[in-house]
Chains A and B, each alone.
Chain A
């Protein structure tokens, strides 16, 4: 059974701090790893990672994948109160003979940024 584990489950920081969120996985037929931010309802897409060692960056957020050690990290520098959200990690694996994979999600990390 495919498994995705995120840590920590919750994190409280102050504005300006840098945070690192972790995601480890065990899946068969790995395709990609995705990060999402969920504030109120709909998760919004952050990154898709398919290759080891290549950092993806968007503003203060960055992410990297290690396919040998089966984990990914999401970094947020100079955090702001608007970064407060649940951050979801998901791994896509091949689903039998289908052309579309299926996602397995971790539990999420609840990030709270205080002013």
Chain B
């Protein structure tokens, strides 16, 4: 079955550590996105990528980094510079304009 796989589902991080969240899709979609969701808030865009080896900052990119070396993969690194990283992270993809986004099941990151 085609879809988006995010891993891990739950992640705990100590303060000062970098962590990388995985996002893989086998839908052959060109564009991929990372969103952050906090309680009582909607989704906020962190980074997005339209093609391999290219990506753009979203509204809250500070403290995060991404790469897009393969069409199928768009990992997100939460760096120690991100002051409040505890949140629910969602990855999404889409095949083109005029179509809806497909979301992964998310990764819940907790800083301990």
CB under 8 Å from chain A, chain B span 72-112: 88, 90, 94, 96-106
The CA of A105 and the CA of B38, in the complex, are separated in Å by 12
B residues sitting closer than 8 Å to A (CB atoms) are 30-31, 33, 35, 40-45, 48, 50, 56, 58-59, 88, 90, 94, 96-106
The 10 closest A-B pairs by CB, nearest first: A105-B42, A45-B100, A42-B103, A105-B43, A41-B105, A41-B106, A100-B31, A42-B105, A107-B42, A100-B50
- Taking a contact as CB atoms closer than 8 A, the residue among A9, A45, A104, A108 that contacts B101 in the complex is A45
Interface residue tally on A, bucketed by range: 20 to 34
The answer to whether the Cβ of A57 comes within 8 Å of any Cβ in the partner chain is no
- Taking a contact as CB atoms closer than 8 A, the residue among B44, B48, B96, B106 that contacts A42 in the complex is B106
The answer to whether the Cβ of A16 comes within 8 Å of any Cβ in the partner chain is no
Which residues of chain B have C-beta atoms less than 8 A from A95's C-beta?
A: 56
B56 touches A98 (CB 8 A): yes
30 contacts across the A-B interface (CB closer than 8 A): A4-B42, A6-B42, A34-B100, A36-B103, A41-B88, A41-B105, A42-B90, A42-B106, A43-B103, A44-B103, A45-B100, A45-B101, A45-B102, A48-B99, A48-B100, A50-B98, A90-B43, A95-B56, A98-B56, A100-B31, A101-B97, A102-B58, A103-B33, A103-B45, A104-B45, A105-B35, A105-B42, A107-B42, A108-B41, A108-B42
